[in-house]
């Protein structure tokens, strides 16, 4: 239906120090939901779509209105239940319990596929929550930029002396997440060529400073990129072309980049990925008229796309999959048994961090005041004087990352404990809570995170690909993560199916803690920022990773069967 009138009035999260809910925890939920649907933050908020194909913040505009009304009425000792983007119940619990509990897109094992999902979605019974879309934790492309930057920095460390200067990275997809790629490459001093079928998406990345130029002409892109690389200058260009066609065009021309990856929405062959041979408008029309043909053509293009990546790898490039399940898709639907001949980015670059409970967490200033985030930047730098890479990141972010919606910051901290047994994340949160209490920060800060974190996700083609003990598909861990974070008193807790790799391919959980300067917030922060990264440590210790076992020993994390 038509967008809700109150959503049109809001145009993003309310800001300032006056609240319309009965407490800051409820207000934080209301502001974060509207921040997801801010036209500057979400990709297509008119249809409630936040990012990642069809990742939605609420099931329908009626459901959005109902969630807003519930949040306004919710008492400090009540808990609202949201099932796939629709409010379904409200119970008296207690003040220390979560204010909102969310479950999105979950299906019982045998029914857990796109076919059943789309049937139920058409009946209005379920919604695709992606990861941070349905859990109201999306903060725009700025949310992924550090992860993309760190992944490319880890790649540069491993292969090129820590810098991408003079190197060309080829990728696809300039959507909500993929749009971070050109800036992450240029922040590492490299050159990026990105294929994108939707010209409007390229324009959006250029307007927000994530990408430098656009072209329709592949020769032009290769020429400019090669020249910039030869001069060691950072450069990025969005090419208005289908990614599969671009890779074949590069192979035909004998052009071999240094690095090849992709972030088109390949996890969803119907509503995320575009088949070759159609403009966006023509493809959108085909999807409406004849979804079966669309899916077949989309998967055919994906098969060519993966073949292109493998051929470019054979020609000498470093290839990795960037978490969109493009390998899984063509292995399953086009019987390409060699699709997994290039690695996923987690086993290649991220898992050692997960073993120490390190992952991307983020915080947003509910005041809407950028000064509040600058104050938190100073606090991180003060608290961790020894972390040079973190300082470099904060400097780069301040210089080059524009705020979208509520001012926010992302940073990777882990479990490592100090003399008082406080984890890095807990120390950070407690410091911010003090700054709010002292009035140095104008309004509460909400701390949340991606579902892609150390101990919160089971995803055999991504976060848990190639686990040491073959436990890739065991989904008890994200469920324990969500239950434990409820027990620890997080303010919003959610569990989703699907996310970045599609229905049936992952389960994952997320949480929010509102730092309003109170003793209650300090108590919650101390617990949640121990249990949450702690899940990463025990999950990887259980799988037999030495880094995790060492971290558990150093920080006195109880891992029962290891202690015996
Ligand atoms: P999005 O839907 O906002 O954007 C995808 C973009 O790809 C769109 O702009 C679309 O026009 C373009 N596209 C689709 N098919 C194409 C093709 N064949 N050629 C060229 N362009 C094409 O999605 P997003 O939020 O940017 O996420 C992209 C993918 O990355 C998703 O599969 C998502 O699940 C995954 N993802 C990975 C990570 C990670 O950490 N690695 C994080 C989030 C999302």
CATH 3.40.50.10730 fits 142-343, yes or no: yes
Phi-psi region of 53 (alpha: psi -120 to 50; beta: other; left: phi over 0): left
**Ligand 1 centroid, distance to 400 Cα (angstroms):** 22
Beta bridge mates, 413: 359
**Ligand 1 centroid, distance to 464 Cα (angstroms):** 20
Within 10 Å of residue 348's Cβ, how many Cβ atoms? 19
Asked if 225 contacts 232 with a C-beta cutoff of 8 angstroms, the reply is no
Which three-class secondary structure state does DSSP give residue 412? Answer: strand
**Ligand 1 centroid, distance to 490 Cα (angstroms):** 30
**Ligand 1 centroid, distance to 270 Cα (angstroms):** 13
pLDDT average, residue stretch 284-312 = 98
pLDDT tens profile 400-454: 888 999 999 999 899 999 999 999 999 999 999 999 999 999 999 999 999 999 9
Which of 80, 91, 125 has its CA nearest to residue 106?
A: 125
**Residue with structure tokens 């139920």?**
120
The pair of three-digit structure tokens given for residue 443, joined into one six-digit string: 């309004």
Which residue has a Cα nearest atom 37 of ligand 1? 323
State the number of CA atoms in the 13 A half-sphere of 175 facing the CB. 24
pLDDT tens profile 62-119: 999 999 999 999 999 999 999 999 999 999 999 999 999 999 999 999 999 999 999 9
Mean pLDDT of the chain: 96
Burial class (CB in 10 A: 0-12, 13-18, 19+), 407: buried
Counting atoms of ligand 1 from 1, which one is nearest the CA of 499? Answer: 34
Which residue has a Cα nearest atom 44 of ligand 1? 500
Counting atoms of ligand 1 from 1, which one is nearest the CA of 198? Answer: 11
Question: pLDDT confidence of 563, banded at 50, 70, 90?
Answer: low
Q: Which of 36, 43, 48, 52 to mutate to test the pocket of ligand 1 (most atoms within 8 A of CB)?
A: 52
Counting atoms of ligand 1 from 1, which one is nearest the CA of 264? Answer: 7
Instruction: Please give the C-alpha separations between residue 254 and each of 143, 218, 269, 393, 526, in angstroms, as whole numbers.
Output: 36, 13, 29, 36, 56
pLDDT tens profile 193-220: 999 999 999 999 999 999 999 999 999 9
State yes or no: pLDDT of 564 exceeds 60: no
**Ligand 1 centroid, distance to 272 Cα (angstroms):** 7
ipTM more than 0.90? Answer: yes
**Ligand 1 centroid, distance to 3 Cα (angstroms):** 24
How far apart, in whole angstroms, are the C-alpha atoms of residue 417 and residue 426? 9
Which of 253, 254, 259 has its CA nearest to residue 309?
A: 259
Q: Which of 128, 130, 208, 263 to mutate to test the pocket of ligand 1 (most atoms within 8 A of CB)?
A: 263
**Ligand 1 centroid, distance to 60 Cα (angstroms):** 23
Which residue has a Cα nearest atom 40 of ligand 1? 323
Domain ranges of the chain: 26-122, 142-343
User: Mapped to the 3 state alphabet, what secondary structure does 423-470 carry?
Assistant: EHHHHHHHHHHHHHHCCCCCCCEEEEECCCCCCCEECCCCCCCCCCCC
State yes or no: pLDDT of 159 exceeds 90: yes
Q: Which among 21, 211, 411, 486 is annotated as catalytic?
A: 411
Pocket of ligand 1 (CB under 6 A): 43, 51-53, 144, 147, 172-178, 195-198, 201, 242-244, 263-267, 272-274, 301, 322-324, 452, 500
The pair of three-digit structure tokens given for residue 310, joined into one six-digit string: 């493998």
411 included as an active-site residue: yes
Instruction: Please give the C-alpha separations between residue 358 and each of 184, 238, 450, 454, 534, in angstroms, as whole numbers.
Output: 20, 32, 12, 6, 10
pLDDT average, residue stretch 306-326 = 97
**Residue with structure tokens 């009540």?**
78
Which three-class secondary structure state does DSSP give residue 240? Answer: strand
Question: pLDDT confidence of 17, banded at 50, 70, 90?
Answer: very high
**Ligand 1 centroid, distance to 324 Cα (angstroms):** 7
CA of residue 98 relative to chain centroid, distance: 22
How far apart, in whole angstroms, are the C-alpha atoms of residue 184 and residue 195? 16
pLDDT average, residue stretch 44-60 = 96
Which residue has a Cα nearest atom 8 of ligand 1? 175
pLDDT average, residue stretch 481-488 = 98
Please give the pLDDT value at position 146.
86
pLDDT tens profile 368-410: 999 999 999 999 999 999 988 788 889 989 988 889 999 999 9
The pair of three-digit structure tokens given for residue 334, joined into one six-digit string: 């086009």
Phi, psi dihedral angles at 247 (to 5 degrees): -65, -40
Which residue has a Cα nearest atom 4 of ligand 1? 175
pLDDT average, residue stretch 121-145 = 95
Which of 427, 424, 428 has its CA nearest to residue 409?
A: 428
**Ligand 1 centroid, distance to 266 Cα (angstroms):** 7
Which three-class secondary structure state does DSSP give residue 548? Answer: helix
Which residue has a Cα nearest atom 21 of ligand 1? 196
225-247 burial code (b ≥16 CB/10 A, e <16): bbebbeeeebbbbbbbbbbbbbb
Please give the pLDDT value at position 562.
78
Please give the pLDDT value at position 147.
87
**E strand or H helix that includes residue 482:** helix 476-487
State yes or no: pLDDT of 554 exceeds 80: yes
Instruction: State the DSSP code for 44.
Output: B
Please give the pLDDT value at position 74.
98
- Calculated CA dihedral for residues 469, 555, 480, 490, nearest 10 degrees: -150
Counting atoms of ligand 1 from 1, which one is nearest the CA of 305? Answer: 18
Is the sign of the CA dihedral 529, 436, 400, 450 positive or negative? positive
Q: Which of 264, 349, 456, 465 to mutate to test the pocket of ligand 1 (most atoms within 8 A of CB)?
A: 264
Q: Which of 138, 265, 286, 330 to mutate to test the pocket of ligand 1 (most atoms within 8 A of CB)?
A: 265
Counting atoms of ligand 1 from 1, which one is nearest the CA of 177? Answer: 26
């Amino acid at each position: 239906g038509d967008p809700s009138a109150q959503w049109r009035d809001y145009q993003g999260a309310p800001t300032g120090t006056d609240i319309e809910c009965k407490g800051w925890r409820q207000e934080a939920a209301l502001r974060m939901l509207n921040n997801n649907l801010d036209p500057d933050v979400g990709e297509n908020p008119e249809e409630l779509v936040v990012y990642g194909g069809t990742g939605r913040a609420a099931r329908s505009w009626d459901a959005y209105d109902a969630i807003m009304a519930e949040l306004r009425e919710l008492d400090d000792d009540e808990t609202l239940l949201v099932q796939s983007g629709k409010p379904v119940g409200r119970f008296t619990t207690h003040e220390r319990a979560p204010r909102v509990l969310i479950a999105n897109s979950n299906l019982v094992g045998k029914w857990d596929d796109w076919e059943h999902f789309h049937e139920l979605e058409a009946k209005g019974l379920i919604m695709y929550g992606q990861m941070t879309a349905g859990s109201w934790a999306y903060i725009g492309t700025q949310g992924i930029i550090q992860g993309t930057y760190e992944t490319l920095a880890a790649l540069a460390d491993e292969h090129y002396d820590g810098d991408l200067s003079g190197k060309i990275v080829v990728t696809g997809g300039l959507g909500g997440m993929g749009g971070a790629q050109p800036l992450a490459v240029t922040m590492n001093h490299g050159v990026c060529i990105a294929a994108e079928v939707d010209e409007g998406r390229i324009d959006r990345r250029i307007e927000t400073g994530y990408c430098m130029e656009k072209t329709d002409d592949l020769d032009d892109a290769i020429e400019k990129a090669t020249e910039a690389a030869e001069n060691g200058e950072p450069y990025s260009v969005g090419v208005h072309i289908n990614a599969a066609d671009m890779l074949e065009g590069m192979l035909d021309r004998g052009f071999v980049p240094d690095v090849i990856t992709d972030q088109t929405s390949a996890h969803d062959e119907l509503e995320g990925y575009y088949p070759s041979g159609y403009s966006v408008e023509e493809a959108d029309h085909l999807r409406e008229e004849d979804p079966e043909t669309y899916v077949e053509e989309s998967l055919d293009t994906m098969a060519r796309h993966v073949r292109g990546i493998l051929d470019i790898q054979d020609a000498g490039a470093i290839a990795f999959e960037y978490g969109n399940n493009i390998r899984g898709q063509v292995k399953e639907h086009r019987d390409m048994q060699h699709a997994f001949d290039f690695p996923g980015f987690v086993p290649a670059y991220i898992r050692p961090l997960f073993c120490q409970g390190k992952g991307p967490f983020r915080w947003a200033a509910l005041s809407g005041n950028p000064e509040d985030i600058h104050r938190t930047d100073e606090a991180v730098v003060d608290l961790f004087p020894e972390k040079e890479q973190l300082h470099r990141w904060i400097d780069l972010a301040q210089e080059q990352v524009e705020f979208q919606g509520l001012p926010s910051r992302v940073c990777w901290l882990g479990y490592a404990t100090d003399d008082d047994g406080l984890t890095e994340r807990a120390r950070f949160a407690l410091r911010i809570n003090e700054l709010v209490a002292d009035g140095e920060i104008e309004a509460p800060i909400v701390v949340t995170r991606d579902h892609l974190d150390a101990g919160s996700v089971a995803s055999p083609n991504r976060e848990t690909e190639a686990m040491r003990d073959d436990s890739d598909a065991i989904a008890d861990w994200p469920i324990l993560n969500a239950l434990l974070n409820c027990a620890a008193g997080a303010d919003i807790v959610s569990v989703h199916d699907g996310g970045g790799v599609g229905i049936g391919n992952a389960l994952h959980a997320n949480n929010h803690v509102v730092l309003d300067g109170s003793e209650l917030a300090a108590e919650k922060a101390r617990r949640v920022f121990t249990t949450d990264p702690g899940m990463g440590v025990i999950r990887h210790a259980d799988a037999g990773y030495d880094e995790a076992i060492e971290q558990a020993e150093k920080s006195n994390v109880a891992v029962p069967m290891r202690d015996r």
